[in-house]
Amino acid sequence: MNNDLFRKESLEAKKIKALGSVALYCPPFRWVIITIICLMVAILIAFCIFGSYTKRESAEGVLVPENGMMTITAMSAGTVIALPAHEGDSLDKGSQIATVSSEISTRYGQTRETIATQLDLQKEGLNNQLNNLEKLNNETLKSLHEKVSLLGQQSVELDTIYRQRTQQIELSKTQLDKMTAMRKEGYASNTQVEQQQNDLLDARVRLQDVARQRIDVRQQLAQTQQQLREQPITFYQQKNDLQQKLSEITQSMIENESRRSIELRAPEKGVVSAVLVKQGQVVTAGQTLAMMLPDNARLQARIMLSSRAIGFIRPGQRVVLRYQSFPWQKFGQQYGTVMEISKSALSPQEVSTITGNNQVKESMYQVKVTLDKQTVQAYGKQSSLRPGSGLEADFIVDKRRIYEWVLEPLNALGKMTSL
């Protein structure tokens, strides 16, 4: 007995299939696509491993001379009456740049000019007095020397006369003694003795006159010698008084001229980079009239950076520069090196004073950058850079592999977790 559930014919029929087995179709260029995908993945991995990304900090700045720009400013308000300097002129130290006049007109005319005329007259008068004083001193000294010489001669003559008078008295006394003795012997009369006594008295009177004249001459000689010693002192005192008055007049003239007109001159040798006024223009005190570039001055970039970016800036760091006067798309980028970084942050007011930008709201640091080149290649020739030109600067803050930038959030998360 057959115990099979299905009939043999049914099982045989089941073996015959109407559809064949499933076959997967692959196009002939499938290996090309696979290869391209693998190469792209490999390139991407290699780019992440070997490629790097540089983080830059951008800022704006300006070109300035290393030793600073020379600014010519008006010391007082007035009118520009002379402007001999022009842009591009090479000036020596002390060369005139401009003259500013603050002359005031009144019913008496030009006030400062009138004062200057009066001061000139006073100065001329003092100079004449000084010259006359020197002549008078010379004449006085000459006269005193002559008087001393004359009085000396008189003194010598009086001394001689005095000695002669003294001898005459001695002779008269001797003669009187003889006459007295002769009277006693009866050889001379009383009249002769009295006559001799009178001669002796006359001789004594004449001696007293000579003695008095000697005293007078000696006093005059002493006084004249004293005047001769005092005359140089008196002369120098009078001369100093006149010179002091002359100095005061000169000072008044200088002050008057400084109020009348001021000549502005070049403080150092250099080139006039800009003339900001015209002849006849009214200017105010402190207004800039012209600017000068020091002779053979090298330019540097002065850049202001915020405190957010200054932490990664170091001296010697390379900087990419783009000058506004030479578009980088056409003339390329320039390069420089950080030379100096300010030790402390500058206040917004200080930054505004340096840059002229009144919109600064935060403290900033000043960075000085030395330029690799002082010129830019433009249209086949080297064009010099000009002070005051604006620029954009890119500081290379950080440079890492791309995978390091990708993994940085994970590293930061790991550090936070460990803390």
- Measured CA to CA, the distance from residue 61 to residue 269 in angstroms comes to 27
Asked whether residue 180 falls in the same domain as residue 279, the answer is: no
Q: Judge whether 403 lies within some domain.
A: yes
The domain that holds 276 is classified in CATH as 2.40.50.100
Name which of 27-31, 109-113, 157-161, 349-353 the model is least confident about: 109-113
Residue 1 has pLDDT above 50, yes or no: no
Asked whether residue 38 falls in the same domain as residue 57, the answer is: no
Please state the rounded mean pLDDT for residues 227-235: 88
Q: Judge whether 7 lies within some domain.
A: no
Residue 358 has pLDDT above 80, yes or no: no
Asked whether residue 325 falls in the same domain as residue 249, the answer is: no
pTM here is 0.48
- Measured CA to CA, the distance from residue 33 to residue 265 in angstroms comes to 80
Asked whether residue 80 falls in the same domain as residue 161, the answer is: no
> Highest mean pLDDT: which of 96-100, 167-171, 195-199, 349-353?
96-100
Please state the rounded mean pLDDT for residues 299-325: 86
Asked whether residue 93 falls in the same domain as residue 177, the answer is: no
Q: Given this model, what pLDDT does residue 249 score?
A: 87
The domain that holds 304 is classified in CATH as 2.40.30.170
CA 14 to chain CA centroid, nearest Å: 116
Q: Given this model, what pLDDT does residue 23 score?
A: 59
Residue 54 has pLDDT above 70, yes or no: no
Q: Which residue has the higher pLDDT, 190 or 43?
A: 43
Residue 280 has pLDDT above 70, yes or no: yes
- Measured CA to CA, the distance from residue 419 to residue 417 in angstroms comes to 5
Asked whether residue 245 falls in the same domain as residue 184, the answer is: yes
Strands, E assignment, 258-330: 261-265, 270-275, 282-283, 288-294, 299-306, 318-323
Asked whether residue 129 falls in the same domain as residue 94, the answer is: no
Please state the rounded mean pLDDT for residues 269-298: 85
Q: Given pLDDT bands bounded at 50, 70 and 90, which one contains residue 336?
A: very high
Q: Given pLDDT bands bounded at 50, 70 and 90, which one contains residue 58?
A: confident
- Domain of 378 in residue numbering reads as 53-66+298-416
Q: Given this model, what pLDDT does residue 413 score?
A: 65
| Contacts (Cβ under 8 Å, ≥6 apart) of 178 | none
Q: Given pLDDT bands bounded at 50, 70 and 90, which one contains residue 16?
A: low
Distance linking the first and last C-alpha atoms of the chain: 85
Q: Judge whether 1 lies within some domain.
A: no
pLDDT in tens, 159-189: 888 888 888 888 888 877 877 877 777 776 7
Q: Which residue has the higher pLDDT, 32 or 150?
A: 150
Q: What percent of the chain lies above the pLDDT cut of 70?
A: 82
Residue 41 has pLDDT above 50, yes or no: yes
Q: Which residue has the higher pLDDT, 316 or 308?
A: 316
Q: Judge whether 183 lies within some domain.
A: yes
pLDDT, mean over the chain: 81
Asked whether residue 139 falls in the same domain as residue 242, the answer is: yes
- Measured CA to CA, the distance from residue 111 to residue 101 in angstroms comes to 12
Q: Which residue has the higher pLDDT, 392 or 194?
A: 392
Please state the rounded mean pLDDT for residues 370-384: 87
pLDDT in tens, 60-116: 888 888 877 788 888 888 888 889 988 888 888 889 999 888 766 655 556 667 777
- Measured CA to CA, the distance from residue 393 to residue 391 in angstroms comes to 7
For residue 148, give the 3-state DSSP assignment.
Answer: helix
Name which of 44-53, 242-251, 268-277 the model is least confident about: 44-53
Residue 265 has pLDDT above 50, yes or no: yes
Q: Given this model, what pLDDT does residue 390 score?
A: 86
Residue 348 has pLDDT above 60, yes or no: yes
Q: Please count the structural domains in the chain.
A: 4
The two tokens of residue 145 are 């020397």
Residue 407 has pLDDT above 70, yes or no: no
Q: What letter represents residue 402's amino acid? A: I
Return the CA Rg of the chain. Answer: 57
Asked whether residue 273 falls in the same domain as residue 341, the answer is: no
The domain that holds 135 is classified in CATH as 1.10.287
Residue 3 has pLDDT above 60, yes or no: no
Asked whether residue 369 falls in the same domain as residue 409, the answer is: yes
Asked whether residue 137 falls in the same domain as residue 40, the answer is: no
The two tokens of residue 59 are 């800022």
Angle, to 10 degrees, between the axis of helix 402-418 and the axis of helix 30-50?
A: 60
Q: Judge whether 75 lies within some domain.
A: yes
